[in-house]
Amino acid sequence: SDAAYKDDVAGFLEYLYSGYFHPQQRPLYANIIETRDPLVWNRYLQFLDGAMLEDFALGWDSYLNPFEWEQHMRMAETAQAQGKYAILVSQGAQNDLARQQFAFASYMLVANGFASFRYADADYYDEAWMYENYRLALGAPLGMRYQEGGAWRRDFENGTVSVDPAWHTAGIELKP
Class for the domain spanning 2-135: alpha beta
Q: How does the average pLDDT of the chain come out, rounded?
A: 95
Q: How far is CA 170 from CA 72, 136, 137, 164, in A?
A: 16, 15, 17, 6
Strand partners, 53: 88
Distance between CA 96 and CA 101 in Å, rounded?
Answer: 9
**pLDDT (tens digit, 9 = 90+) per residue, 46-77?**
999 999 999 999 988 889 999 999 999 999 99
Domain boundary assignment for the chain: 2-135
Q: How confident is the chain (176 residues) per 10-residue block, as mean pLDDT? A: 91 96 96 81 94 93 94 95 97 97 99 97 94 97 97 98 98 95
Percent of the chain exceeding pLDDT 90 equals 89
Distance between CA 123 and CA 5 in Å, rounded?
Answer: 28
Reference 16, options 52, 39, 53, 49; nearest CA is 49
Provide the terminal-to-terminal Cα distance of the chain, rounded to the nearest Å: 57
Distance between CA 155 and CA 162 in Å, rounded?
Answer: 9
Strand partners, 161: 154, 172
- The structure's pTM equals 0.93
